[in-house]
Amino acid sequence: MKATLIGTGTAFSRRFGNTNTLVENAGIDLMIDLGFTTPGRLEDLGRNLREITHIAISHIHADHIGGLEELAFLSRFVFGTRPKLLLPRGLASDLWEHALKGGMELVSNDEGEPLFCTLETYFDPIILDDEWKNLGSLNIRAFANDHVPGKASYGFIVRDSESADQMIFGCDVRRRLKELETEPIEPDFARGPIFHDCQLYDDGPSGVHIPFSKLFSYPQSVRKRIVLVHYNDSVLHHLAEIHENGFSLGWPGNVITMPNWRECIRKKPADCTL
């Protein structure tokens, strides 16, 4: 199992792109979220939307779903494919009704007549409950997190059932993940790299992303597994503080292979444009 960090920045990052990740394992190419910068950044890395077989969506902000319309239209009208869309149950209706329907419900058929579509026209939806879903040897589990009060939001654990290699994607959170706060760590969260968002200022305007300093109270066993993503464009000014406190930093273009994942994030990739 390997993961390519397509982007590692906030929703408003001009340098690092949306924090979205491509996980590959045994013939499955799974995107963890698909934001508006991701189609272009995939191409910059020599990849293509045509390769994507599965997409897991954490919540309905544009930096996590803004590329879905492009993928949907290309898949339906160009590629002739129907990617599998992994949706935590709490997002199943919201994604279509509150995000995609306006631009994707009404299109045209080959005769120029109106064609009414649904989410199932473009994707093969798979509902994720709070349990493991087996996709061949790739398994995925969604867990609820706390991002915007009252707004459905989730993270994901992805593992290879044959090797037991595992990765955790916190996606967007405003508080520490409760499963990681005290030892012993909750069993499903107890191993593998943790891709964790961070806000590099404590008094920022949003209140929906956890400030970096709030991560210091995680147990040391957790901090050494955390790979920071979803950071501000000012991250270069914080590198010493990040490393001094035991965290790693993910860069766009990092290809992280298991099990020696720490060796993959030691430095910025040579082709990472800043």
The values of phi and psi at residue 66, to 5°, are -65, -15
pLDDT of residue 265: 79
Q: Measured at the alpha carbon of residue 221, what is the angle toward residues 246 and 175, in degrees to the nearest 5?
A: 80
Instruction: Give the residue-averaged pLDDT of 165-177.
Output: 96
Q: How confident is the model at residue 200 (pLDDT cuts 50, 70, 90)?
A: confident
Residue 194: per-residue pLDDT: 98
Per-residue pLDDT at 225 exceeds 90: yes
Residue 173 class from Cβ within 10 Å (0-12 exposed, 13-18 middle, 19+ buried)?
Answer: buried
DSSP assignment, residue 98? I
At 246, the pLDDT band (50, 70, 90 cuts) reads very high
Most confident region among 48-62, 103-117, 225-239 by mean pLDDT: 48-62
Q: Label residue 202 by pLDDT band (50, 70, 90).
A: low
Q: Give the other-Cβ count within 10 Å of 133's Cβ.
A: 15
pTM for this model (two decimals): 0.94
Domain ranges of the chain: 2-262
CATH of domain 2-262: 3.60.15.10
* 22 vs 34: CA distance, rounded Å: 9
- Mean pLDDT for 9-13 is 94
For the chain, percent of residues with pLDDT exceeding 70: 95
Q: In this model, does residue 274 exceed pLDDT 50?
A: no
pLDDT of residue 203: 53
Tokens 């300093």 correspond to what residue? 213
**Which residues make beta-bridge pairs with 29?**
24
pLDDT tens profile 105-160: 999 888 889 999 999 999 999 999 989 999 999 999 999 999 999 999 999 999 99
pLDDT at 70: 98
Residue 235 in this model has a pLDDT that exceeds 60: yes
What per-residue confidence (pLDDT) applies to 204? 57
Which has the closest alpha carbon to 126: 115, 116, 139, 117? 139
- List the end-to-end C-alpha distance of the chain, in Å, as a whole number: 27
Cα–Cα distance measured from residue 129 to residue 122, given in angstroms and rounded to the nearest whole number: 22
